[in-house]
Amino acid sequence: MLWHDLIFNDYAPLQFNWETIFKGYSACLDFPSCNYYKELMEFYPDAKVILTIRDDDSWMKSWNVLNNEVLNSFTFKFLAKIPYTSFKLQKDIHNKMILGKEGAFKGSLTDEAIKKRFNEWNQSVIDYVPKDRLLVYQVKDGWEPICNFLDKPIPDIPFPYKNKTKNMGHISRFINSIFIIIIIISIAMIISSVFFGIQYIGEDRFFGGLSSVILVSIILIVTWTKK
């Protein structure tokens, strides 16, 4: 909710107290933090910036998997319609800060246009951040560049390679499992309603009204998820 309030309530990022979000933390990564790296550098003058880079074709493939299999899936769209859930908040922020005209993609829709924005973003960070505060990093290089940059010892454990394109399936399965749980709960509630409805208002009257309710509900759900 803190991120949602910052992005949608027109706070001035330079005047925003970032400790409201980051108190007790020593680092942040990825979206939406990266959209505010300039403001965070101003607020935390000793902070360093690590820019992870990769081949733009590889990144585009990963983005399309995330976008098509997760964010644009029926399940995610359905759950994102439920107010105050993490799905709803994530969808709102995603639409504004990445896909929107003021977001990272500047309204770009094609793969080539999005890749252009991706490369422009990387270069803008390189141009803006002072050299002594910036590490341009590729994940394949492992621990050593990061540890040297941060003056930390190299851990005696393998470098974790978890955020891979093929692992997006885990996210999709997690979201689908939540959806299944919701369906099971809904079915249980419907069965309970049927049982008590028959008990108190009679079978004929209950099922006559129920069929209309089900039909209207199906129409509303289909219309809702297509928005």
pLDDT of residue 195: 59
Average pLDDT over residues 140-159: 93
Evaluate whether residue 125 is within a structural domain.
yes
pLDDT of residue 118: 92
- Percent of all residues in the chain with a pLDDT value above 90, rounded to a whole number: 30
pLDDT of residue 183: 75
Evaluate whether residue 85 is within a structural domain.
yes
Evaluate whether residue 18 is within a structural domain.
no
Evaluate whether residue 25 is within a structural domain.
no
Evaluate whether residue 188 is within a structural domain.
yes
Query: Is the model more confident about 183 or about 175?
Result: 183
pLDDT of residue 28: 92
pLDDT of residue 207: 47
Evaluate whether residue 185 is within a structural domain.
yes
SS3 state of residue 145: helix
Evaluate whether residue 26 is within a structural domain.
no
pLDDT of residue 41: 95
**Residue 206: Cβ-neighbour burial (10 angstroms; 0-12, 13-18, 19+):** middle
| Residue 20 near residue 107, CB atoms below 8 Å | no
Evaluate whether residue 69 is within a structural domain.
yes
Mean pLDDT of the chain: 78
pLDDT of residue 5: 75
Which domain range does residue 73 map to? 48-226
Is pLDDT above 70 for 212? no
Is pLDDT above 70 for 126? yes
pLDDT of residue 12: 65
Cis, peptide link before residue 130, omega less than 30° from 0? no
Average pLDDT over residues 177-185: 75
- DSSP label at residue 14: T
Is pLDDT above 70 for 205? no
Q: In this predicted model, what pLDDT tens digit does every residue of 21-71 receive, in sequence order?
A: 899 999 998 888 888 999 999 999 999 999 999 999 988 988 888 777 777
Query: Is the model more confident about 146 or about 217?
Result: 146
pLDDT of residue 215: 46
| Residue 98 near residue 109, CB atoms below 8 Å | no
What is the tally of structural domains in the chain? 1
- Percent of all residues in the chain with a pLDDT value above 70, rounded to a whole number: 74
**Residue 86: Cβ-neighbour burial (10 angstroms; 0-12, 13-18, 19+):** exposed
| Residue 69 near residue 170, CB atoms below 8 Å | no
Q: In this predicted model, what pLDDT tens digit does every residue of 61-110 receive, in sequence order?
A: 888 887 777 777 777 777 778 787 777 888 888 888 788 777 788 888 89
